[in-house]
Amino acid sequence: MNASQIRSADRALSIGTWLIVAGAMLYSILTVTPLAARHTTEKWQWTAPILPLVVDAAVVIVVRLDAALARLGGRGGRWPVALRWMTGVMTLALNVADSALKKDLVGVAVHSVAPLLLIVTAETGLAYRRAIATAVNDLNARQQAEKEAREHARTEARERAEQRAREEREHKALLAREQREHEAALAREQRDHNERVRREEQDRVEARERAEREARERVEGEREQQRRERERREQEAAQRREKERRDREQAARRQETERREREARERAALLSGGPVDEKLPEGRARQIVAAAFASELTVRAASELCGWSTGWVTARYQELRDTNTPVLEGASA
């Protein structure tokens, strides 16, 4: 049997077992409830169905847990066996008690069918489930062994293929190494030959370059001597030009100093006259205003020195600012 067939058989066993359990429970409740009611006080007769329910609940627990343990391949020990038989005997006793008290043998036989069937079904189902669990374990073990055998065969085949591939690679590598060594030997011989040719050519080139270098050095020595002579002459000429430039600058500074001193004396002379009571001639007034502007005198002071109005002096100051020409040159104009 394969795994699917085993699962189908286990499912049929479970369905049949629970159908028998359900029928036995219903039949037991209907049979035991009147008996319990007759032997219970009138006030508590409503509790009569509780007794068969409790016994049947114990039956359900036993069947269910036995099924779970059987699937796992385990055993619950002596207590589950005691509970299973105790519940079966109690169910049988309760079902046949009424007929037995009435000494009705036919009733005892009829009412013992369901409990006996329940007891035998529970034991048989447990045996079947253990057998199924054993069969499933054996099947799994065989399948695992077959799987491991297949894996082992695949591993061996893969290792053989890898070994062949490794041997082929090593053979190819050996051939390639020999080819490389042969090519390397040829290359070394060619390099040695080329190196000899190169050294000979280099020796000839070095000799030629040495001769050319000596010739160039002689020419460059002559050129260097000429260059130093030319630089010496240029340096002497530059020194003469620099001396002449400094002389010109000193002369220009002396002239500038003399001019500034002369302009200062002229401004001082123009401003030394003091305030006047009447207008001076315009040319003279312009010279005084220019000197006052250069000396940074106020407009009023310049107006007092030339006798002209402050407005006229202000206009001249503005002209001097706009033209931005030397004072004495403006005054001379």
| pLDDT digit string, tens, across residues 240-297 | 888 888 888 888 888 888 877 777 777 777 777 677 777 778 888 888 888 888 888 8
The candidate with the shortest Cα–Cα distance to 282, out of 263, 300, 308, 302, is 308
pLDDT at 297: 83
- Whether 176 has a pLDDT exceeding 60, the answer reads yes
pLDDT at 305: 79
Distance CA 128, CA 9 (A): 10
Burial class (CB in 10 A: 0-12, 13-18, 19+), 77: exposed
Distance CA 274, CA 276 (A): 7
Radius of gyration of the chain (CA): 69
- Whether 79 has a pLDDT exceeding 80, the answer reads no
pLDDT at 274: 72
Distance CA 265, CA 271 (A): 10
Average pLDDT value for residue range 23-40: 70
pLDDT at 63: 67
With contact defined as beta carbons under 8 Å apart, do 115 and 85 qualify? Answer: no
As a whole number, the mean pLDDT across the chain is 78
Question: Helices in 272-298 by DSSP H: which ranges?
Answer: 282-294
Residue 76's contacts (CB-CB under 8 Å, 6 or more residues apart) are 65, 66, 69
- Whether 330 has a pLDDT exceeding 50, the answer reads no
Distance CA 152, CA 299 (A): 123
What does the pLDDT look like over 197-228, one tens digit per residue?
998 999 989 998 989 989 988 888 888 889 88
pLDDT at 126: 65
- Whether 16 has a pLDDT exceeding 80, the answer reads no
Would you tell me the crossing angle of helices 78-101 and 3-38 to the nearest 10 degrees?
40
pLDDT at 170: 92
Residue appearing with tokens 């107006």? 303
Distance CA 324, CA 312 (A): 18
Distance CA 140, CA 3 (A): 9
Average pLDDT value for residue range 60-71: 68
Instruction: Please report, for residues 31, 39, 40, the alpha-carbon distance to residue 43 in angstroms, rounded to integers and kept in the order given.
Output: 21, 12, 8
What does the pLDDT look like over 91-133, one tens digit per residue?
777 777 777 777 877 777 777 777 777 777 767 766 666 666 6
Residue 154 in tokens: 């695949």
Number of H helices, E strands in the chain: 8, 0
- Whether 332 has a pLDDT exceeding 50, the answer reads no
pLDDT at 331: 38
- Pseudo-torsion of CA 109, 110, 115, 118, nearest 10°? 110
Residue 42 in tokens: 């009138």
- Looking at mean pLDDT, say which of 31-40, 119-128, 160-169, 297-306 comes out highest: 160-169
pLDDT at 333: 36
- Whether 37 has a pLDDT exceeding 70, the answer reads no
Distance CA 53, CA 222 (A): 136
